[in-house]
Structure 1
Amino acid sequence: MDILEITLIADDVATMKETNSEGISRSRRWVKVSVEELEKALTLREWTEVNPREQNLNLKPAKEMRKTLSGDSRDIFHYLNRGISLSVAECRVKNIKDKKEVYLKLSDIDEHGIFDGGHTIKVLFDALNKAEVLDEKHVILEIFTGVEDILFDLARARNTSTQVKEKSIANLEGKFDFLKEALKNECFYDNISWSENEDGDISINFIIQILTTFNHLLPDKSMRKTYSGAGSCETAFINEYNRNVENNQLNNVYYKLTPLYSKIFKFLDHILSNFPSIYNKHGYESERGNFGKLKGITYKQDFFPLLFTENNKRISYKIPNSMFFPILASMRQLYKEAPNGMYEWILDPIDVFDEISDKLVTKVMGVYFEKQGAVNEVGKTLSLWIDTYEIVSSYLKEQEIKELKKQLELIQANQ
């Protein structure tokens, strides 16, 4: 999509800027504009790729918004509504008399656009189109720059209500029952939050994200969404469940994976435990040094708990999903369908990882340095998901050749 440039006249602007310890400059501005001024920004409707939620204008919140716009003469819409949150490449503000001129530039639809407030802008544009706005109304635009590396954290934090609702309903409808049965003996079971306001450090959304990386039916392009799209993974899970109601979930890929669950979650913690030391040992080309000092990596001595490991074991690094999810997904070729229709391992993913971890970690770090430490860009790089898959695929072929040679040697020895 082409670059989008918008200039708006605002009643007021409040600005907060900072440069963090990693040298990343960010800004956050609250811009108060009249609803009519948004007619200059109709193209924003097409910049919603970074918003993980679909907008349903038939829901009660959207209907209430309409009432505030069309049935109330008071200018209070911006007090009753959270507004519209945008990530942009550039935001400049200039004083003009008693107003402000705000220039916005969006250059990458995967990183810029509306990540919260999709319902708001759709209702506003619809009301403007139908001339339903009663008297003057204002809306708050919350505009961020420099947040590309944390965009999906922002989007998840802002877009929780629909996900929580879906999670709670799915739990009540029994759609998580086979997950509960498969995980009931795991050490982390009591720490899973299955529904809204339930105690537990592990959201069922995260559980489903991890399991989705092992869905071998998904293409590499779809795999990229697993590292950031908790909501989309949950929707995929629910859709898969609904498709298999009549056959009692026997063809549900998530159900067929249940014999592998225990190893999958142990494998995740194994990656997180070993990734830093593997990098520190091998580095990447001329890059060497402390993993904890890298941009996008958080280091705190023995601070971060391994969620799926017994005895409250902790590690010292917080590693972004975008850096280890491609490794998780590369192992989705390590199982096959057993005679009973369920899945079984061909090889243990932990053993395979230990054999080729230097290649996998080096591949990830190569993309990391290519993207200059922009960890969000790492996860979005399709070639990384393909290359890590191919590394594991090559290893599998090598093992098959070794096994064939052994069988041939046995045949020759018995002749």
Structure 2
Amino acid sequence: MKELTFNITCDDYRVLQIPNSEGQKSKLGTLFARVEDLPKDLKEWTSVNPRNPKFSKTEKLSGQVARSIVKTLEEEPEKFALKNLGVYLLVDHVESNRISGDRHEVSITLSDIDKHGIVNGGHTYRAIRQVIEQNTYEGQAFVRLHLYQNIPEQQIVDLAEGLNKNLQVDQASLKNLVKKFDPIKEAMSGKRGGDQIAYSDGEPGKVDILDVLHILSVFDLNQYPGKDKHPNDIFGSKQKVLKRYDTDIDNKENSSFARLLPRIDEILILSDEVQKQCAKITSYYKIKNTEDSNRVGSVDHKRDAIFSDGEISGLIPQGWLYPMLASFRANICRKSWDSGQLVWLEEPLVLLSEVINDLVEIITTAHKEQKSRPGEVGRKPTAYQLCYFTVFMKLVEDGKVG
């Protein structure tokens, strides 16, 4: 294979000498690059990585970790540099030159496919290529590049194994909880979409168990009993959601999930239906700043619903979905919850049809106020508060609450 050379323009570039490198003068360079500056040909340089990404039948990345990276790039690209560890490259050599504005132009060369390439961060790189090639990326994301030079050949395997342990820890934390997911498997047995939930990284399935747990968590009246506290505090924090489930499911006397699981199929259907109805209303709404696929109802965003019938005709970011979904906590009978059951005050889908227009108006207004950043809509309490109040007042009008 021919050598690969590409250039990155960045604000800063630093180099550190690596200690104890057996006289090889090994160095580690670091910089932040715009994700769109990583060349597509880099995907051929992965031989040095013992863990290659897995893909679904539709050629999309599979697994919780990879899908989480994609979601950050699509919904919160401005936070990518903070939330992602970056791409680690073994390279032949690097040249850096100062350019105008006290910036750096860094030229990176890989020459031997057996010694150079992505030694860690393959999932990150492929997630970047996926969102760019599928036109679901709107810009503003930076990724950290770690550039290893002059690494002795005999140490490449050690380096790769050490770096890749990071991902293994996340997988282990999920695998350790696999048995604790049995109540969810039992509750979804025979239900539509039950076979589409992936309970550990690499399992087939279109929906990650962590997303299911997040959806259930927004209905947790033990954590969020009313109008004064909302589940914006768990948005983007999958580890917090997972830890809370791990602790709660063992609480035999007062488990929130023990109340929620008998209604899990209804909750997941409601999640699909919120997305369906929101997508119809906002079909022409510009959700991204890209030239292609920049509207909710763009053809690339249409997909089959998983837990309900029909099609979701557009892209509804989680930052939109969760505040609308969480508002249906107001529809839970508090007296029944305190006695250990989840009972609706009004049939959820009937209630949804009566409030969806108001909920969508709240969400789209918040989206504009947050400068078209759906992640910020989901992270801040305002949309949750207004959506909750909307559902609560409708129930008051219907005589369901006093």
**TM-score > 0.5, shorter chain as reference:** yes
Distance 1:383 1:307, change over 3 A: same
Match of 2:171 in 1: 164
1:385 counterpart letter in structure 2: Y
- CA 1:396/1:199 → structure 2, altered by over 3 Å: closer, same or farther? same
Which residue among 175, 196, 199 is the counterpart of 1:194? 199
Q: Residue 117 of structure 1 is aligned with which of 70, 80, 85? A: 85
Q: In the TM superposition, what whole-angstrom CA distance separates every residue of 1:309-368 from its partner, at most 9, and x where no partner exists? A: 24xx33331111111110011111222353862222222222211111111111111111
- Offset at 1:163? 3.5
Counterparts of residues 3-42 of structure 1 (less than 5 Å): 14-15=7-8, 33-35=14-16
SS at structure 2 position matched to 1:400 = coil
Within 5 A, what are the aligned runs for 1:2-401?
Answer: 14-15=7-8, 33-35=14-16, 74-76=24-26, 78=28, 111=79, 114-117=82-85, 161-171=168-178, 174-219=179-224, 223-242=231-250, 244=251, 249-279=252-282, 290-291=284-285, 295=289, 297-298=295-296, 299-300=298-299, 303-310=302-309, 313-336=310-333, 338=336, 341-400=340-399
Q: Shift of the alpha carbon at 1:204?
A: 0.9
Mapped contact 2:327–2:387 kept (Cα < 8 A) = yes
Match of 1:35, SS?
Answer: strand
Percent identity of equivalent pairs:
18
Q: 1:395 to 1:148 in 2, by over 3 A?
A: farther
Per-residue displacement from partner, 1:74-98 (whole Å, max 9, x unpaired)? 555749xxx787999xxxxxxxxxx
1:3-52 deviations in Å (ceiling 9; x for gaps): xxxxxxxxx99427xxxxxxxxxxxx69762237xxxxxxxxxxxxxxxx
Opposite residue 369 of structure 1, the aligned amino acid is K
Query: For structure 1, which runs of at least 5 residues remain unmatched after alignment?
Result: 1-11, 17-28, 37-67, 89-109, 121-139, 152-158, 281-289, 405-415
Contact 1:260 1:343 (8 Å CA) reproduced: yes
8 Å Cα contact 1:272-1:319 kept in structure 2: yes
For 1:84 and 1:160, the matched residues in 2 are separated by 22
Q: What are structure 2's unaligned runs of at least 5 residues? A: 36-77, 89-119, 129-136, 144-165
Residue 374 of structure 1 and its aligned partner are, at CA, apart by 2.2
Residues 71 and 400 (structure 1), Cα distance of their counterparts in 2 relative to 1, 3 Å cut: farther
Shift in alpha-carbon separation, 1:233–1:150, aligned structure 2, 3 A: farther
Q: Contact 2:332–2:345 (CA<8 Å) still a contact in 1?
A: yes
Residues 400/234 of structure 1: CA separation in 2 closer, same or farther (3 Å cut)? same
Larger Rg: 1 or 2?
1
Q: What's the CA shift for 1:291?
A: 2.9
TM-score, normalising length: structure 1: 0.57
Q: How many residues align?
A: 283
Contact 1:213/1:223 (<8 A) preserved: yes
TM-score when scaled to structure 2?
0.58
Q: Would the alpha carbon gap of residues 71 and 293 (structure 1) be closer, same or farther in structure 2, given more than 3 Å must change?
A: closer
Query: Please, what is the CA RMSD of the aligned residues?
Result: 4.3
Tell me the amino acid that sits aligned with residue 8 of structure 2.
T
